[in-house]
Structure 1
Amino acid sequence: MADRGGLGRSGSRFSAYVEGLISVIGHADRARPLRDYCLGLLMPCERKSVEPMAAVTAPERTAAQHQSLLHFVGEGRWSDEKVLAKVQEMVLPSIERHGAIEAWIIDDTGFPKKGTHSVGVARQYCGQLGKEDNCQVAVSLSLANAHASLPVAFRLYLPQDWTKDGDRLRKAGVPEEVDFKTKHEIALDQIRHACATSLPRGVVLMDAGYGNNSDLRAAITALELSYAVGILSNTTVWAPGSGPLPAKAWSGRGRPPKLLQRDSGHKPLSVKALALGLPKSAWRTVTWREGTADLPPKKWTGLGGF
């Protein structure tokens, strides 16, 4: 038998959460559609789009509910920043009761699409599919500890095919101030905003799609954040105890010297070459989560200093 008390408490918490969101979406007419939309996201329908959500949230008036949700999603003019800030206010304390924030996770999410009209849709890599295909991609920053994670920033990536086409942008309702930014630039904007709003800091985690960008790594260091990121094996680094020689003074005659002066014994090397040259004592195996079913725990072997 279901725990009615537990279901009641869950329902009360859900209602309080939605009421918090309603307080920042700017118009009383949006309250009911927001409640229905959030409920639809939790209901066991096959697709989380407005048509099946309308059928499960208002089966007696599906057509009218479909139009209501469609208008709510398509015409909503609330502030994403205010909504995310409210979510942080309500959810972050609950996460921190289980431990301090340990990580800032930069990632992107792909949403497969069939047509060409959805904002930002293009043929690009989609993580859900594991290949390039027609999809939208959004860049996100999440705060996490061992208990849970919370997205605190989320922005749709617009490919240059979109940002160069003014007519297409206007038809899709993209604000005029939105221009092209790479995923790395979006990620850095999100990290800077998180620093500026004094969110609890953690180690920045990124896969190689972001971690291999040296400008992004340098900017994160300038913000006095630590990071642990994926990089490609051919990324070049300076071995411990080495580095670029200082630039030679220039007299003003002839060609100015390069900023980095190198000689045959003073060169960067690939991280693969550096790693393979280290002794076995520099490596360790780390188990980072329990396995499921009959699968063993996930393991990673890497340098002991990371």
Structure 2
Amino acid sequence: MSWDTELTTLTERIAGPLFNRPEPRSTFPDLVRSLLADVPRKNSWQLADHIGHVKAYRFEHLLYGAKWDADVLRDQVRSYVPEHLGRPDGVLIADDTSAIKQGNKSAGVARQYCGLTGQVENCQIMPMLTYASSAGHAFVNRRLYLPESWANDPQRRKEAGIPAQLLFATKPALFIDMLSEEITAGTPFRYLCGDSGYGRDPDLRAFCHTQHIGYVLAVPVDLPLIAVRGGGEPVGHLLDRLLAHANSSVWERRSCGSGTKGIRLYDWATVAVHLAEQTPAPGYAHTVLIRRSVTDPADIEFFLAHAPTGTPTTELIKLAGLRWKIEENNAQSKDLLGLTQYQVRKWTPWHRHVTTVMLALAFLAVTQAALPPDHDEPDDQGKDTTTNANPP
């Protein structure tokens, strides 16, 4: 079956129960198809022109005026991705991405730290959740972060159509909500991965402990641990002790996966730790992974793993490398599908646009997974058997 036929079958199957009226039911497949097309700017006018609509009204009505629930579409995406990409090695990956916007009317827009530029910008922040496995990866959930300046302003909330019952929540709290939804939905995953913005949050870690969820999360150097002789110490002191011993045997050169430039080799060291004021789930243990650049020994990153006791180090290293899969999803959805090129301002249209892009991305991932391999896959563990790690 051709990809065109596959896309038609998918969008028509989803549109059937999603819409009560025939107009949006027929417009929805056109929107998904046009998002996948080579259109320079993915706004309603250019998408409509590409697909052959005389005006942009049909797409604008679909996003603004038609009656349908974006969460129902999200549930369809969540079912579709594991159905085709679900594997025993599946993980969920947490990260947020940003959309730089003008003005102050778009829901959630504020001057806040923008990960896209690394500085304070007028932007919206979008916490996203990716499902990844050896078969592929795609978004399965999303949120729009609502800063306190918005959450506490009834007039702005009303103008942007933000639900009255929605309260302020931190970005880690939004991911706790999304993880709860994935557990309820039965999404097949074994671990959570994410960057240090989430690894440092004790509430997110505590939720994973309570739910027996494994994780490999990047953490900051000041993450509090229980020292060997009692008392507390930051995780960064582990590196100091390793360097003081000057023992090359504690470092092992391995790959954490393949990137755009080939196998990503790093030097790794692992240390069993006890987290200050937090205990792992029964049968689980905490381990810190220290990753050191091969070319720049000063380039260090720390990861905290919460995994079943006896989990091989090679598995934890592989999981640490999976965090970048969501970066690929962010880039693909922005560059190819117009994730942040929307011209909608209100809460409901934003969720409709973003969730439709999620479906388009999922279709790309599933289509790619179905292609026959054109080369042998590299060894995921990527152990370098010819070069020993340099001593610190």
Specify the TM-score bucket, using the shorter chain as the normaliser. 0.7 to 0.9
Contact 2:82/2:187 (<8 A) preserved: no
- Determine whether 1:143 maps to 2:131: yes
Structure 2 residue aligned with 1:269, among 233, 252, 266? 233
Question: Which one-letter code corresponds to 1:12 in the other structure?
Answer: T
1:26 to 19, 22, 29: 19
Q: Identify unmatched segments of 5+ residues in structure 1.
A: 1-7, 243-264
Query: Which structure has the bigger radius of gyration?
Result: 1
Q: Is the 8 A contact 1:24 1:86 kept in 2?
A: no
Cα distance change on mapping 1:291 and 1:181 into 2, 3 Å:
closer
Instruction: Name the TM-score, length of structure 1 as normaliser.
Output: 0.80
> Contact between 2:101 and 2:123, CA under 8 Å: does it hold in 1?
yes
Verify: 1:111 aligned to 2:99, yes or no: yes
CA contact (8 A) 2:81 2:140 kept: no
Q: 1:220, 1:226 within 8 Å by CA — same for their partners in 2?
A: yes
Q: Distance in 2 between matches of 1:24 and 1:128?
A: 37
- Report the equivalent of 1:69: 59
Question: Does the CA contact (< 8 Å) of 1:155 and 1:186 recur in 2?
Answer: yes
1:199 is paired with a residue whose SS is: coil
TM-score, normalised relative to structure 2 = 0.64
Measure, in 1, the Cα distance between the counterparts of 2:104 and 2:216. 37
4+ residue runs of structure 1 moved beyond 6 angstroms?
A: none
The corresponding residue for 2:283 is none
How large is the RMSD of aligned CA atoms in angstroms? 2.0
Amino acid corresponding to residue 37 of structure 1 in structure 2: L
2:267 aligned with 1:297: no
Q: Which of 157, 175, 190 is matched with 1:202 structurally?
A: 190
CA pair 204-174 structure 1, distance change in 2 beyond 3 A: same
Cα deviation, 1:98-153, whole Å, max 9, x if unaligned, reads x4342111111211212221111112223333332111111122221122113221
Note if contact 2:82-2:188 (Cα within 8 Å) is conserved in structure 1.
Answer: no
Question: Tell me, what secondary structure is at the counterpart of 2:237?
Answer: helix
Q: Which of 163, 173, 176 is residue 175 of structure 1 equivalent to?
A: 163
Q: CA deviation at 1:229?
A: 0.4
SS of residue in 1 equivalent to 2:266: strand
Change (3 A) 1:205 1:291: closer
- Aligned 8 A contact 1:101 1:143 in 2: no
Measure how far apart 1:201 and its partner are: 2.1
1:34-89 CA-to-partner distances (Å, cap 9, x unmatched) read 12211121111122221221221126x1xx2x122112112344223321221233
Cα distance in structure 2, aligned partners of 1:110 and 1:76? 27
Q: Where does 1:1-306 land on structure 2 (aligned, <5 Å)?
A: 9-28=2-21, 29-58=23-52, 61=54, 64=55, 66-96=56-86, 99-239=87-227, 242=228, 266-278=230-242, 279-292=247-260, 295=261, 297-304=263-270, 305=313, 306=316
Which consecutive residues of structure 2, in runs of 5 or more, have no partner in the other structure? 271-312, 317-392
Identity %: 25
